[in-house]
Copies of this chain bind each other. A is one copy, B any other.
Amino acid sequence: MLEMEEKILKEGKVLPGGILKVGNFLNQQIDTAFLKDIGSEIARLYEGCGVTKILTIESSGIAIAVAAGMEMGVPVVFAKKHKTSNVDGSVYSTTVHSFTHGTDYTVVVSSDYLCRGDRLLLVDDFLANGSALRGLIDLAGKAGAELCGAAVAIEKGFQSGGDELRREGVRIESLAVIESMSDTEIVFRPAGRDTVNRT
């Protein structure tokens, strides 16, 4: 998605430690007109795949998931990062490692909202090591739901998470794949941006 690359080049900021800050338009502050375009593009990519539900993880995945869900006409479920007293009944849970924060955290979703028969699209803002997506895949598996694939706004292609998942047969659509980045240059993966299972 050319607009995503342009937006990253124009407004993104590379911080020490391999962090790409896109808080100006994608998380923290959300450019809602651009978000609509993101939702349309995800809907286009997964058109005809029979997606019945979108699954994401709080917090920064929610806006993108909602934009895609509105466009596709399907509900959005978000997994929570720890069990709160507002979740009753049984839950599915899994452990996700955050490389950004250097910690493990538990992710839960109520079994009321994830069911056998659901055809899931996973949505998140970033894909780097793939830990969050693997957590969502684990939750989907525990619920007996079917997986249509994943859509992420920005993939750090220089980390292996996305390509490993593709090799395992998971459809991953990233709106922009960064091959390398420094404080002076961001290079995007040139080909196959919108193709399936490039390996």
Which residues in A have some Cβ–Cβ distance to B below 8 Å? Answer: 15, 17, 19, 21, 23-24, 27-33, 35-36, 58-59, 62-63, 66-67, 69-70, 73-78, 80, 84-88, 100-101, 109-110, 112-113
- A35's contact among B70, B86, B88, by CB below 8 Å, is which? B70
Within the oligomer, what is the number of copies of this chain?
2
User: What are 27 A-to-B residue pairs whose CB atoms are below 8 Å?
Assistant: A15-B88, A19-B85, A21-B86, A23-B112, A23-B113, A24-B112, A28-B77, A28-B78, A28-B80, A28-B113, A29-B76, A29-B77, A30-B66, A30-B69, A30-B75, A30-B77, A32-B70, A32-B75, A32-B76, A33-B70, A59-B59, A62-B62, A62-B63, A63-B66, A63-B76, A70-B70, A84-B100
Docked pose: A27 CA to B74 CA in angstroms: 15
Contact B110 A23 (CB under 8 A): yes
Q: With a CB–CB cut-off of 8 A, which chain B residues contact A110?
A: 23, 28
